[in-house]
């Protein structure tokens, strides 16, 4: 209960110092929103897109799930929460960018990588959800042969690419992308270095968009993008 009380105190501060203040962004946002960008991020407690990208309310439309997965376009009777959020962002809000935001030390990706072992049946829903990335995991493990920090990083990045590819299976997304009306970005938050990286189609690699923390010293033999 103590943890929850802290959140209520936090809301009171938010109301007084942000929501109700003069020139608060909420003065224009109380009735509607017009975000330009959708962010698909992991549910991880450390990777709040609004915090790490310093966004104001109303700037980004966010959907978060374990391992920031975009499932393929499947217009069937299932309850497709992620697809519904994507449809609303693209069709109703008419966002001009979709960012798939992955991150280092992702517990979902680690579980996926280790799911061939004893963890296979540990969770009722998580394993089924992560199975959307089984092909990705198998390709990574074929290259790295074992589950290590390095192979997990490779899988985190490959998972972002897979989600970007799945976005293009939505016919109304691929149409807008081809018409130049919508851009899809694959970003990676490296919590070791404090850097943001972006997937470059030309080089097929993740390259830094920002410099690392001033205090960051890469461990010997680590690749920049890891
Ligand atoms: Zn994660």
Domain borders along the chain are 1-29, 33-208
With contact defined as beta carbons under 8 Å apart, do 226 and 153 qualify?
yes
The predicted structure's pLDDT at residue 226: 41
Ligand 1 centroid–CA 7 distance in Å is: 23
Report CA(130)–ligand 1 centroid distance (Å): 11
Hey, which residues does 184 pair with through a beta bridge? 98
Strand 205-208 versus strand 97-103 pairing type: unpaired
pLDDT tens, residue by residue, 158-194: 999 999 999 999 999 999 999 999 999 999 999 999 9
Report the share of the chain in percent with pLDDT over 70. 95
The CATH topology of domain 33-208 is: Beta-carbonic Anhydrase; Chain A (3.40.1050)
d(CA 62, ligand 1 centre) in Å = 15
pLDDT band for position 1 (50/70/90)?
Answer: confident
- pLDDT, tens only, 60-94: 999 999 999 999 999 999 999 999 999 999 999 99
- Cβ density class 91-127: b for 16+ within 10 Å, e for less: eebebeebbbbbbbbbebbbbbbebeeeeeeeeeebb
Q: Does the pLDDT value for residue 102 go beyond 60?
A: yes
Span from the CA of 90 to the centroid of ligand 1 (angstroms)? 24
Residue 31 CA to ligand 1 center (angstroms) comes to 32
- At 225, the pLDDT band (50, 70, 90 cuts) reads very low
Ligand 1 center to residue 47 CA distance, Å? 8
Q: Which residues pair with 190 in a beta bridge?
A: 195
Mean predicted confidence (pLDDT) in 152-157: 98
Whole-number Å distance between alpha carbons of 206 and 196: 9
**58: CA distance to ligand 1 center in Å?**
24
> Pairing mode, if any, of strands 37-42 and 97-103?
parallel
What are the residues whose beta carbons fall under 8 Å from the beta carbon of 191, sequence distance 6 or more? 46, 103, 104, 105
* pLDDT higher than threshold 90 for residue 116: no
At 2, the pLDDT band (50, 70, 90 cuts) reads confident
What's the CA-to-centroid distance between 38 and ligand 1, angstroms? 18
């Amino acid at each position: 209960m103590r943890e929850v009380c802290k959140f209520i105190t936090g809301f009171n501060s938010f109301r007084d110092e942000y929501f109700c203040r003069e020139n608060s962004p909420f003065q224009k946002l109380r009735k509607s929103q017009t975000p330009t960008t959708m962010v698909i991020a992991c549910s991880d407690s450390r990777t709040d897109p609004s915090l790490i990208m310093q966004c104001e309310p109303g700037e980004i439309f966010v959907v978060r799930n374990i391992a920031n997965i975009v499932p393929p376009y499947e217009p069937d009777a299932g309850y497709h929460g992620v697809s519904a959020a994507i449809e609303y962002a693209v069709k109703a809000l008419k966002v001009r960018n979709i960012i798939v935001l992955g991150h280092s030390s992702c517990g979902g990706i680690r579980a996926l990588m280790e799911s061939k072992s004893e963890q296979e049946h540990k969770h009722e829903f998580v394993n089924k959800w992560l199975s959307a990335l089984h092909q990705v995991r198998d390709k990574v493990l074929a290259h790295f042969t074992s589950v290590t920090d390095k192979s997990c990083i490779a899988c985190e990045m490959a998972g972002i690419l897979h989600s970007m590819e799945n976005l293009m299976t939505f016919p109304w997304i691929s149409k807008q992308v081809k018409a130049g009306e919508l851009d899809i970005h694959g970003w990676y938050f490296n919590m070791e270095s404090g850097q943001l990286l972006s997937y470059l189609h030309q080089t097929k690699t993740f390259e830094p968009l920002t410099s690392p923390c001033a205090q960051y010293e890469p461990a010997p033999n680590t690749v920049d993008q890891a």
